[in-house]
Amino acid sequence: MTDARPPRQAVRTLQARKRIALIAHDGKKTEMLEWATRWQDTLGQHTLIGTGTTAGRLKKALGLEVEGLMSGPLGGDQQIGARIAEQKLDVLIFFWDPFAPQPHDPDVKALLRLAALWNVPIASNAASADFLLSSPYLNERYEMAIPDAAAWAQARSQ
Ligand SMILES: O=C(CO)COP(=O)(O)O
């Protein structure tokens, strides 16, 4: 058994059209809708997914095409986390509520851990989401470092 960290980094290239996850806890959904309204045109140029209720609210209020997964408390955070682990998500916009404990707090923590691990850009509030969406990288290919999963597995199976 070797060091419990991936021994090497690999390169992942994000395409110009990003796959963006949109998630908001109930206490933050109004803020998310207001923010998404301001960024509606930009969001419409990318591929959007979201947890069930957030996705439904965005579709209804803004007419945006958003793939809806399970609602968060029913496993939606875990589904988004799986997309991250499979390198199928590029940006995470997650307005989590710092005032409301969630029944699925472990799922939320797991999602945030995977996003940190896989170097996925995260915005937790409207200002950081403004910065992310106004980045020149949003509409360009972008190369980033990620853990080398194959090297990790190989090192641990010696
Ligand atoms: O609970 C959530 C994220 O942790 C969000 O889920 P909903 O979008 O289904 O409300």
More confident residue, 1 or 33: 33
Q: Is the CB of 23 under 6 A from ligand 1?
A: yes
pLDDT tens across 32-83, in order? 999 999 999 999 999 999 999 999 999 999 999 999 999 999 999 999 999 9
Residue nearest to atom 3 of ligand 1 (CA): 72
More confident residue, 4 or 138: 138
Exposed / middle / buried, residue 18 (Cβ in 10 Å: 0-12, 13-18, 19+): buried
Q: Is the CB of 79 under 6 A from ligand 1?
A: no
Q: Is 97 annotated in the active site? A: no
Stretch (H or E) spanning 22: strand 19-24
Q: Is the CB of 51 under 6 A from ligand 1?
A: yes
The answer to whether 46 is a known ligand-binding residue is no
Q: Is 136 helix (H, G, I), strand (E, B) or coil?
A: helix
Q: Which of 77, 90, 105, 148 is catalytic?
A: 77
What is the rounded average pLDDT of the residues 131-154? 95
Question: What predicted TM-score, i.e. pTM, was given to this entire model?
Answer: 0.96
pLDDT of residue 5: 84
Q: How far is the CA of 129 from the centre of ligand 1 (A)?
A: 17
Length of the chain, in residues: 158
pLDDT tens across 84-141, in order? 999 999 999 999 999 999 999 999 999 999 999 999 999 999 999 999 999 999 999 9
Instruction: Say what the ipTM of the complex is.
Output: 0.99
What is the rounded average pLDDT of the residues 143-158? 91
Question: Does the pLDDT at position 1 exceed 60?
Answer: no
Range list for CATH 3.40.50.1380 in the chain: 17-140
Question: String of b and e for 125-134 (b: at least 16 CB within 10 Å)?
Answer: ebeebeebbe
Confidence band of 7 (pLDDT split at 50, 70, 90)? confident
- Mutation test residue for ligand 1: of 22, 26, 31, the one with most atoms within 8 Å of CB: 26
The answer to whether 47 is a known ligand-binding residue is no
pLDDT of residue 113: 98
Q: How far is the CA of 72 from the centre of ligand 1 (A)?
A: 4
Superfamily grouping for domain 17-140: Methylglyoxal synthase-like domain (3.40.50.1380)
